[in-house]
Amino acid sequence: MGSVPSTPRRGGAYSPETAEYLIGTFVGDTPFPLSSEFWQKLLELPLNVQWSTQRVQQACELLAKNNCHTRHLAKILFHLACCLQEYMSSSGALPLVYEKAFNAVYISSIFLKHLIESVHGENIQLYLSLEDNEDVQKDVLRDQTIKNLVMRNVLSFIASVEVSPDTFLLHLELLNFMIIGMSTQLLCGPSPGPNDVNPFLDAAMAQDSSLVGAVVCRLLLNFMARSNVPSNRATYSILYDGNQSSVLQRVGSAAANIVLFPFSYLVSSSGEESKSPIADISIHVLLVLVHYHKCLVSEDYANHKSSTSDSLLKENPHFSDNPYCKALEHAIDCELDRVDIEGNAHSARHIKLPFASLFDTLGICLADEAAVLLLYSLLQGNSAFLEYVLVRTDLDALLMPILEALYNAPSRTANQIYMLLIILLILSQDSSFNASIHKLILTGVPWYKERLFHQTSLGSLMVIILIRTVQYNLSKLRDVYLQTTCLATLANMAPHVHRLSAYASQRLVSLFDMLSRKYNKLAERRDNKLHIAKGNSVEGNNLVEDMSTELHIYTDFLRLVLEIINAILTYALPRNPEVVYAIMHRQEVFQPFKNHPRFNELIDNIYTVLDFFNSRMDAQREDGDWSVHEVLQVIIVNCRSWRGDGMKMFTQLRFTYEQESHPEEFFIPYVWQLVLSHCGFSFNTGAINLFPVDLQTERLENGVVGSTLQNGDFDKSEYQLDP
């Protein structure tokens, strides 16, 4: 087939010129058919060639220029699918097949990433189809497209081949490849639209439900197994410039050795090595798959493409079902022989997972935002897992990392704080949860620096942290949704409070005091502005209206805190003498609101309690000051005779969490922010439309600048290969 160098077999060596020629031919302008010997030579190429950053960039640019004609990306993806199929069919017995599959996914990932992030405008065209004259084996492609075939085989390999020291690197690179293929979402807007192009994601969604379930199961098992990098892993230096050693020292997988291929799974964003790169990337792949929503074109939209129909589509979007989301929602505990209502065993559509291991792993990993988002997805969508969590007797294993993260809120992202608070709100919807957390006693809380806790309940600590989060939000974030979520969780807990600690009780009353002072300042400022704005100044009237809105918000917050205190006094007073003591100690903070129309009934209940205990104190008053212990003992004794006479009963508050009508607008950008910030996967910031990027603070991608090459720059005259 022309003058070509001989092909060495395993154990041989390619010359640098041969490697340069083969890569040059791949990115060149001459198309080679699938049946050409060229593809076998390329895939058997040992990956030990050293190239500079600029050299790799030039190769990527050439493929981008010529791929529409050569379709070489589609062809190497076809060979990747074939190699994976051959490997799975041979039960992994052929080392050469493994190496070819590895090389195929390695090379595909490099050039696919460049093609995706180099897209200009809205036209995403990767040319993933073959020419009509290609002689493709009918038993391989059948009626599938290339993207469907490669995704089916990639997913099948991930699901069916065990992660072992021998397969570790290939598993890692296939997961890397999936992240790259799915990164077309970064080019789309924050709201899924009918014109979004995500070929690999759509191909993943089109797979059989049995494969989808197996993939979800395997990705979660990878997360739980947390396999370490094998000590005997191969090292590569392909396309490596010796001046870039600081970059290559970060390499965890073979593909990451390309300077322009920015995966570094042994190093986290903080510079610390990840002991389990497959666990990390598995959970990111799962989150991208689970939260994907494809917006379908309605018939009306197709026939009437106007601004009116765009707005209608926004209000009433039509999304296709997400099979990965459904598989996660229907997962069941493999330890239980569950039977449905009709008495039939669960069908194969339910994947079975070790919930105990999943619970334990999540508890260990909740410092990572991806694990927090996974926990949210499970609790919100999977009723079986939620039920499992609620009956665990060691809830501190899950709650303590959550509370510690909220304690360190200034170092957390706003999105992470939201997710943590929503998780607590979901759990607090269950009365048994609210009761059990007060029975679980903690011997200490080492991460709480301002105060030592000895023998405090998990419930008391949760109240303290939620109030602390409210105070942090009022001073820093000032987010109404976050505030409401915190108070809603406290309201759910209130009727079930049991022996709330002295410090937690004090913080609850102090929260009311702090909100009341802010309320009074706002009311005073509003009244002053109202007096000044009597001259009918438009600007003054707008300012007064804004302040009135803020005052209304604080009125709602104050009422909610009063309802929380009322719920404790109404349903749990005998069990909470410290709450009574805290209210008596600071009873003056309630006085200004006795006649407030929004608060008077709630304040009346508080004063009914105060009158009862104050009268008992007066009856036993002796000369001299009372100690805290003496006052508390009187309260404890009289709690036994408390009957609640004169208390007005209010409907018990119960807040539930419901997802927004368009959750994808939050979760899809959030998932990709996690992928980019925690997996070392850098992307051309100028191409990202999914979320706003601060270009001034974004790291430059290895200092690469654009360059152009003619096709001949990669050709070597001494080598020729016929198409």
Which DSSP symbol is given to 30?
S
Residues 188 and 321 in one domain: yes
Choose the weakest-confidence range: 125-129, 487-491, 503-507, 569-573.
125-129
Domain boundary among the residues 84, 107, 142 is at 142
Domain boundary among the residues 142, 175, 198 is at 142
- Answer whether residue 637 is part of any domain: no
Residues 43 and 124 in one domain: yes
Instruction: Report the DSSP beta bridge partners of residue 565.
Output: none
DSSP letter string over 239-272? T--GGGHHHHTT--SGGGGSTTS---TTS-TTSP
pLDDT above 70: residue 10? no
The pLDDT value recorded for residue 385 is 97
Phi and psi angles of residue 47, each rounded to the nearest 5 degrees, phi first: -90, 75
Q: How many CB atoms lie within 10 A of CB 508?
A: 25
DSSP letter string over 557-622? HHHHHHHHHHHHHHHHGGG-HHHHHHHHHTGGGTGGGTT-TTTHHHHHHHHHHHHHHHHHHHHT--
Residues 35 and 154 in one domain: no
pLDDT above 60: residue 254? no
- Answer whether residue 493 is part of any domain: no
Full domain range(s) for residue 178: 144-230+275-298+317-336+349-392+660-691
Residues 96 and 150 in one domain: no
For the stretch 546-573, what's the b/e string if a residue is b when 16 or more beta carbons lie within 10 angstroms of its beta carbon?
Answer: ebeebbeebbebbbbbbbbbbbbbbbbb
Residues 225 and 353 in one domain: yes
- Answer whether residue 463 is part of any domain: no
Residues 282 and 386 in one domain: yes
Query: How many helices (H) and strands (E) would you count in the chain?
Result: 29, 4
Domain boundary among the residues 111, 142, 173 is at 142
pLDDT above 60: residue 267? no
CB hemisphere CA count around 587 (13 angstroms): 14
Query: Tokens 């970064």, residue?
Result: 186
Residue type, 62: L
What mean pLDDT do residues 309-330 have?
A: 76
What mean pLDDT do residues 40-52 have?
A: 77
d(CA 106, CA 174) in angstroms, rounded, equals: 9
- Answer whether residue 82 is part of any domain: yes
Give 269-309 pLDDT, tens digit per residue. Answer: 343 456 789 999 999 999 999 999 888 866 555 455 444 44
Distances (CA, A) of 682 to 89, 180, 589, 678, 688: 35, 10, 53, 10, 11
Residues 217 and 327 in one domain: yes
Torsion from C-alpha of 116, 118, 121, 122, nearest 10 degrees: -10
Residues in the chain: 723
Phi and psi angles of residue 332, each rounded to the nearest 5 degrees, phi first: -125, 165
Query: Tokens 């009365």, residue?
Result: 431
Number of domains comprising the chain = 2
203 near 283, Cβ under 8 Å?
Answer: no
CA 235 to mean position of chain CA atoms: 31
28 near 34, Cβ under 8 Å?
Answer: no
Distances (CA, A) of 84 to 10, 90, 150, 637: 19, 10, 9, 75
- Answer whether residue 438 is part of any domain: no
Residues 86 and 198 in one domain: no
CA 485 to mean position of chain CA atoms: 19
- Answer whether residue 499 is part of any domain: no
Give 640-673 pLDDT, tens digit per residue. Answer: 999 988 999 988 889 999 988 889 999 999 999 9
204 near 151, Cβ under 8 Å?
Answer: yes
The first and second tokens of residue 307, run together, are 């601004």
CB hemisphere CA count around 647 (13 angstroms): 19
Give 331-387 pLDDT, tens digit per residue. Answer: 999 987 554 444 445 455 689 999 999 999 999 999 999 999 999 999 999 999 999
- Answer whether residue 226 is part of any domain: yes
The model's confidence at residue 232, banded by pLDDT at 50, 70 and 90, is low
Percent of the chain at pLDDT exceeding 90: 58
Residues 214 and 103 in one domain: no
Provide the mean pLDDT of the chain.
82
Residues 94 and 162 in one domain: no
- Answer whether residue 25 is part of any domain: yes
DSSP letter string over 353-403? E-HHHHHHHHHHHTTSHHHHHHHHHHHHH-HHHHHHHHH-S-THHHHHHHH
Residues 106 and 193 in one domain: no
- Between helix 458-472 and helix 396-407 the angle, nearest 10°, is 20
The first and second tokens of residue 117, run together, are 């992030």
